[in-house]
Amino acid sequence: MRVRGFRGHRTMTVYPYPAAKETAMPSGPAPHTTSSAPAGAFGCRLLLVRHAKAEPKQESVEDIARSLSERGRADAARQGRWLAESGPAPALVLCSPARRTRETWQLMAAALADPPDAVYDERLYGAEPNVMVTVLAERAAGLGCVALVGHNPGVQEMASALCGSGSPGLLEALAGGFPTAGVAVVDLPGGWDALTPGTGTLTAFRAPRG
């Protein structure tokens, strides 16, 4: 199965999830970032988050059970503070069930006054862009701003596929790699069921130590 030009699809069991709570969508660019789209020029906003730095792989620990390193925990908390101070605030979080992605979002959410609902969907573990598109279409209907916490290379591939515009500096930074605990803010012209490569605007790209 292929969805609007995005590659890759896997069918996996989905965890049940609670109803989402709608929250206000920010109207302008966040501090410490470069804006490349005027306020209100988008239909929905996607925050793509790569999990923070994890402990090294070990034969005795399954990949899905790897926890964050000390640096990763600090970076995730730092990104959470940025999110709390400058937005954008998601109405829903879609997250891989891997321990490192769950810990990343939990540390980020701890900085928020009113954390949104989080959905831990098995399909997002190591997901390719096409799977992310499918999950967004199923889960995010009617919401203005949604965060997706996942893994590379899928997160960077998703951001690169969606972003057809943005400031040259932001696009160049994205092309250079998506760091652990990095956050890309992508403004999109339509709904979650109409994601198409090249139609998004990269509004912000935040590294935890940048």
> How far lies 204's CA from each of 62, 107, 123, 152, 185, in Å?
33, 21, 26, 18, 5
Q: Which two tokens stand for residue 86?
A: 């400058």
> Rounded to the nearest 10 degrees, what angle do helices 129-139 and 154-162 cross at?
70
- pLDDT value at position 98? 98
pLDDT in tens, 131-140: 999 999 999 9
Sheet holding 92-95, edge to edge: 117-120, 92-95, 145-150, 44-50, 183-188, 200-206, 163-166
Residue numbers in the chain where pLDDT is lower than 50: 1-3, 8-41
Residue type, 24: A
What pLDDT, on the 0 to 100 scale, is given for residue 210? Answer: 60
167 near 173, Cβ under 8 Å?
no
Q: Is the peptide bond before 168 cis (omega within 30 degrees of 0)?
A: no
Which structural domains are found in the chain, ordered by start? 44-206 (3.40.50.1240)
Q: Within 13 Å and on the Cβ side, how many CA atoms surround 146? A: 23
Distance, in Å, from the CA atom of 39 to the CA atom of 16, rounded to the nearest integer, reads 34
